[in-house]
Structure 1
Amino acid sequence: MLGIIGGSGLYEFEELKVVEEVSVKTPFGGASSPIIVGELEGKRVAFLSRHGKGHLYPPHRVPYRANLWALREVGVDRVLAVSAVGGINKLFRAGDFVIIDNFLDFTKGRESTYYEGVFSVDVEGNDEVARLLREKKVVHIDVTEPYCPQMRTLLMDILEERRLKYHPAGTYACTEGPRFETAAEIGMLEKLGADVVGMTGYPEVVLARELTMCYASLCVVANPAAGISAHRLTSDEVMELMSQRERDVKEVLREVIRRLPAEKTCGCDRVLEGAEV
């Protein structure tokens, strides 16, 4: 089942015919919102609001581990995240879509793994994830290609067909937040090769990968980043741009749901092979 994580400005997905609303208690605490399980295009889909309904959780306090685990509990094995980002690459303009393919992590205090060796929590289940946690294994996953290539290709096809302006690749720099970055920080990130900046893409992507989920991110450039923008950054600007793009985002999501094949050709589900020490 596909799970959709809605970021800033995408708190609901009204197109879903709701089947149930599930509040999942996980070994890692509660998720940021109940999971809406519904049907669209004849397929079951789960939707979770990353920041909670009403935007209750700032980026550095989002319960990322609980969110991904809760999606797993309801049967999700693929995740498509929607995120607003700031543009660093000067070719990336406000309103553009970006199908990111790599990331830089500049977060500071986030719990970014399930596998904590002797400190791992005990969980129920008979799959490889549960075994590794129960046996207190140390696990090092490969993130050479952190975003699912099969899902990324489908997103590119859909955006191309709908003639929406997009960039087929980009490096996402994740900062701690909740403040916006300084102009000096953006200058540093640009020199390091970042194309966009956000506050929520990490550890979400690696947590999904640790659970052998496919994960892709549909990013929308909400504004130029600090020092590139000619004016003061505001949250209002981000929310206004996401509101303008809401219809396009939801149409892309609908197409992904309709066209995502049942068979996986990406290898994301094999990430734990050879990863335990």
Structure 2
Amino acid sequence: MIDAAADTLVESPQPENKSKPLGTAGYIGVAILGFWFIIFVLGAFIAPYDATEFVSDDGFLAPSTTFLLGTDYLGRDLLSRLLVGTQLTLIMAICATVIASGLGTVLGVLAAVAGRSVDMILSRINDAFLSFPTTILGLVIIAALGASIPVLVVTTGFIYASSVFRVSRALAMDQVQLDYVVVARARGEGHVWIALQEILPNIYGPLLVDFGMRLAFAILFLSALSFLGLGVQPPLADWGTLVRENMTGLTSGVLTPIFPAIAIASFAVGLNLIVDDLATRSGQDIAGKLI
């Protein structure tokens, strides 16, 4: 009887993820991210000066035809440092988000597929990590291990993997009760096959939306660490470092730290516009899980 029921259910179509075109807000976000992608690719080639070169004896020079964004507090060209810093910022954030999404998705889907006991163990461990404030946890880890770029990337990835775990587990839990997964279990398929062939193809859309949201969080988190002095160390600079090291100029009315702050804000806004538009067009059930 199970085989007969399985044959009948196999013929029923699986749920499909139908992509919908972006709205106006989404296309604005794409334009913003497209601009920063161009800077990411070409930044080091179009920088007018070496990012570590002292081009002036005076710091905080105003923007001019020679220095389009002025100079920083040590007399280095701010535009060059911003262009090069964009590459470092995005590489670190993307690598951290890949770690977070990969680890969180694997463990989240495993928790949903492997059974109640595995789910309980993984969920309780994840709840323990989520109980710590992310910034405090990051500060403690980096203060103990050092502020090297690999430590920053891996720490950010592990911190946000806990949130990805919740999302991927919730999405996978919705799928494991559906007919096509029940049929796969009746056929004797293993957990890995069910996860890769049945569940992941039906939840990759929301996971991609979540990836964009985590990328924005990673940039803000890494920039916050740099602003506090525990992020990227001189002479290298990401967006957060550029804000921190030029903060003293604000007391004299210098706009130097405003430019990297605008970069952080615009990239985060662009990502949020795309994520919000995709989540809205994919349904409130998806948007509600992206917490």
Q: Which has the larger radius of gyration?
A: 2
Question: With structure 2 as the length reference, what TM-score do the two structures score?
Answer: 0.24
More helix by share: 2
More strand by share: 1
